[in-house]
Structure 1
Amino acid sequence: MRTRLLATAVAGLLALLAAVFVAVQPANAAAGFTVRDGVLLDANGTPFVMRGVNHAHTWYPQQTGSFADIKSLGANAVRVVLSSGDRWTRNDAADVTNVINLCKNNRLICVLEVHDTTGYGEQSGAITLDRAVDYWTSIASALAGQERYVIINIGNEPYGNQNYGSWAADTTRAISRLRAAGFDHTIMVDAPNWGQDWSNTMRDNAASVFTSDPDRNTVFSIHMYGVYDTAAEISDYLGRFRSAKLPIVVGEFGHNHSDGNPDEDTILSYAQANNIGYLGWSWSGNGGGVEYLDMVTGFDKNQLTSWGQRIFNGANGIRQTAREATVFGTPPTDPPTDPPPTDPTDPPPGPTGCTAAYRVTNSWPGGFQGEVTVTAGSAAIRGWTVGWTLTGGQQITQSWNATLTVSGSAVTARNVSYNGSLGAGASTTFGFIGAGNPGSAPTTNCTAS
């Protein structure tokens, strides 16, 4: 009898431990995108860095070819504008299902957002985040089972520059309602102040909002326009999220705006150096005086504007940096070709050196941003080291894409693991933030290995 009771007790204890173990597992452990230590992971557990654009689907529902066009220019994600029906024509479950299928067919991760919340508290007709949640639950059938391919951006720029003090409480409640309704997708939340968070409301409350999510699967989105017109402002804002290990993406930005001139070069370079996702605004169809934000003219991918050329084809742009989510499998590749035969009397290839070109990409009172382009010579190299001398009391406060050390006024920058090997004539870049006067470009030396 005692033995039987002991066995029963042990069995009960094991069952209890098993139940506790299951209870503490993330609800979204195998469903789709997850967040770990501030990094967004796809459903295979591989880090995913968004490189894409916004597409105004709700205003141009007939432009379904845009998904394939956006993909053809190298994007791995698209943020799709939807409407709850409160301010514009409602996108119903059937339409959203079609949008998701268009994204999947073109191997794009689909970020879906409700635009009707834009500027709540200041913009007439704007709706609350609670009302946005009502919309998401009303189209739940379109979203069920799509956690591997879809991220839900609850509401676009949910507060203007007034009455934004309740952002944290309202956002927390919206996340809680979505989770209670069975949504295990990664959730994206926009900042207040028309998305730009000049008040630092999102920044200062992000940790508590993230912790309130029972799935710990929330990503924060900052919109960078005129508020972010210096490298210092951009690196400080994004850097605070990185230091706190909180996931951050630049959900919208442009090369110009009515409220100022954002520093898009720093947004792109800092995002690339620190594995931060970005989604530029926007593909085509802008109006109301911001037509300059169109990336292509008339939804024609063959008519790239200057902004489109910059974000798709420029340094640190989409074509150069985007990597597909692994949930789509291995992308098709061209068949391998055999290398040309070599003459056994030829000397073995060896490094013939490298060059380094230094330039100042931005400056502000008391600081500047620099970039160095390293180019291999007539033969491939396995690594590189660049040196130069600081002048006039300059200091280096931050760097990326290189391991940078300073001894006195001597700067030494060495390649990191992923950019040391360069083919003959190939180039790579690294960047840094400096304190002091940028002055004239110093003489650089480059040594190859």
Structure 2
Amino acid sequence: MKRRIYAVGSALLALLVAAVVSLVVAAPPAQAAAGFTVSGGRLLDANGNQFIMRGVSHAHTWYTSQTGSFANIKSLGANTVRVVLSSGGRWTQNSASDVANVVSLCKANRLICVLEVHDTTGYGEEGAAITLDQAVNYWISIQSALTGQENYVIVNIGNEPFGNNESVSATWPTATRNAITRLRNAGFDHTIMVDAPNWGQDWRFVMRDNAQSVFNADPDRNTVFSVHMYGVFDTAAEITDYLGRFRSANLPIVVGEFGHNHSDGNPDEDTIMSYAQQNGIGYIGWSWSGNGGGVEYLDMVTNFNVSQLTSWGQRIFNGANGIRQTAREATVYGGGNPTTPPTTRPPTGTPTTRPPTTAPTTTPPAGTRGCTATYAITGQWQGGFQGDVRVTAGSAAISGWTVTWTFGNGQQVNQSWNVNLTSSGSSVTARNVAYNGSLGAGASTAFGFIGTWNGTNSTPTLSCTAT
């Protein structure tokens, strides 16, 4: 009896050992549990489809009241917004609740949210700048606002985290690896974006030459590299060589900032945008509005007014290889799968992307309270279409708006965003939501919807009433 019991026990033990071994062999490599991932040097959204960033930066931390900018940026075709935040090291800290609201605005406008801490800018050369380690402290302090948002949020640890001080910027690889490790150990499963040193321009190639080791140090292998292209990148050869090396190494790279001009030289924005489009590389332009300190020409719109595009705004949104032409919405929002098709020198001056010394203040002029609304079909396919409506205040500020129209050909609205929308037969009523009802004189906001059509999809006549 004893021997038989032993034999049965041995058999059970053997089965258990085999099962454990099979589990160990079958275990997949570590990776993020949800959200964006990196594969073969490409960024994939939560549905496993390639996502190519086409967006702009928005200086939220200096203009926290400009929440309508998210809808305005979306209305011009962007699929991404890079949001400037402060840890409190140099500017007023953005709280967890404020960041949660920013994320909700991104989601409401079907934008992917790249969140960055700006206080790190120029560390080692800029005396007030904080370290990447201090930036990680901030991320951990607001983690509650980000957990569960991995499908929609990318964490850009710190903006331009080292200046041109050679001995300090040489520590970028170690500091970046340590920052990534701390975030992963704290439970962050998001895709992490890391900026280059040398004010983001990496003209000493510290990021380029150490990118593989930094990527390998991420246990999730879910890190994206970001280079900022200003005066250092003023020739096609410099741009294609730098970005091409990352593509050849199958390492994910985005142009996390660039402009059409800068105090340190004239970047070749045409090559940046064309090469990015040809090679499936994301780009994020600097910046929506509110620049100061001598780089006001980098504003894409004047005074946050989406109806007043600057020449830079016209170029990046509406020009060749621009955002409107090339952006594809992340498929987590139900859109289609996006498809794509020599030695640099030190800058002659220090590139800066800094807030204005004083925040602009405006007083709406006296006038008649009213509003207008325009209707546009931004996408159409068999049986379905996407519509966008822009609401613009008249010559006086308004606190709310209602837009109505009647479809003439049996169209129906299935879903909407940025609006409280109801339908009764062919009649549609659209009312503002809490964050986009208040508009200054001449200011505008936008909402969108997905609808169905059959046979004819004519444009209805809109009526707008302000309160």
Per the normalisation by structure 1, the TM-score is 0.73
Secondary structure of the residue aligned to 1:252 is strand
Output one character per residue of 1:52-79: Cα deviation in whole Å (capped at 9) or x when no partner.
0000000000000000000000000000
> What are the equivalent positions in structure 2 for 1:227-266 lying under 5 Å apart?
227-266=232-271
Output one character per residue of 1:389-444: Cα deviation in whole Å (capped at 9) or x when no partner.
xxxxxxxxxxxxxxxxxxxxxxxxxxxxxxxxxxxxxxxxxxxxxxxxxxxxxxxx
State the alpha-carbon separation in 2 of the partners of residues 248 and 118 from structure 1.
20
Alignment partner for residue 334 of structure 2, among 320, 329, 336?
A: 329
Aligned letter for 2:317?
F
Matched, 1:61 2:64: yes
In 1, are the aligned partners of 2:31 and 2:221 still within 8 Å (CA)? Answer: no
Alignment partner for residue 147 of structure 1, among 147, 150, 153?
A: 150
- The offset of 1:171, in angstroms, is 0.2
Alignment partner for residue 219 of structure 2, among 208, 214, 223?
A: 214
Alignment partner for residue 53 of structure 2, among 32, 50, 59?
A: 50
State the alpha-carbon separation in 2 of the partners of residues 262 and 208 from structure 1.
29
* Sequence identity (%): 72
- The offset of 1:329, in angstroms, is 1.1
Alignment partner for residue 179 of structure 2, among 174, 187, 195?
A: 174
State the alpha-carbon separation in 1 of the partners of residues 106 and 24 from structure 2.
38
Q: Determine the structure 2 residue equivalent to 1:88.
A: 91
Q: Cα RMSD (Å) of the superposition?
A: 1.5
> What are the equivalent positions in structure 2 for 1:179-190 lying under 5 Å apart?
179-190=184-195
State the alpha-carbon separation in 2 of the partners of residues 280 and 333 from structure 1.
24
Secondary structure of the residue aligned to 1:301 is strand
Matched, 1:38 2:36: no
Output one character per residue of 1:209-243: Cα deviation in whole Å (capped at 9) or x when no partner.
00000000000000000000000000000000000
State the alpha-carbon separation in 1 of the partners of residues 239 and 122 from structure 2.
22
State the alpha-carbon separation in 2 of the partners of residues 5 and 336 from structure 1.
65
Q: Determine the structure 2 residue equivalent to 1:77.
A: 80
State the alpha-carbon separation in 2 of the partners of residues 330 and 208 from structure 1.
35
Aligned letter for 2:162?
Y
Matched, 1:276 2:281: yes
- The offset of 1:334, in angstroms, is 4.4
- The offset of 1:181, in angstroms, is 0.2
Matched, 1:136 2:135: no
State the alpha-carbon separation in 2 of the partners of residues 337 and 34 from structure 1.
33
Gapped regions of structure 1 (runs ≥ 5): 339-449
In 1, are the aligned partners of 2:31 and 2:222 still within 8 Å (CA)? Answer: no
Output one character per residue of 1:123-158: Cα deviation in whole Å (capped at 9) or x when no partner.
011000000000000000000000000000000000
State the alpha-carbon separation in 1 of the partners of residues 88 and 24 from structure 2.
43
State the alpha-carbon separation in 2 of the partners of residues 6 and 27 from structure 1.
35
- The offset of 1:12, in angstroms, is 2.3
Secondary structure of the residue aligned to 1:222 is strand
- The offset of 1:86, in angstroms, is 0.7
In 1, are the aligned partners of 2:256 and 2:285 still within 8 Å (CA)? Answer: yes
State the alpha-carbon separation in 1 of the partners of residues 381 and 200 from structure 2.
45
State the alpha-carbon separation in 2 of the partners of residues 85 and 20 from structure 1.
47
Secondary structure of the residue aligned to 2:107 is helix
Gapped regions of structure 2 (runs ≥ 5): 1-5, 337-377, 385-467
State the alpha-carbon separation in 1 of the partners of residues 275 and 150 from structure 2.
28
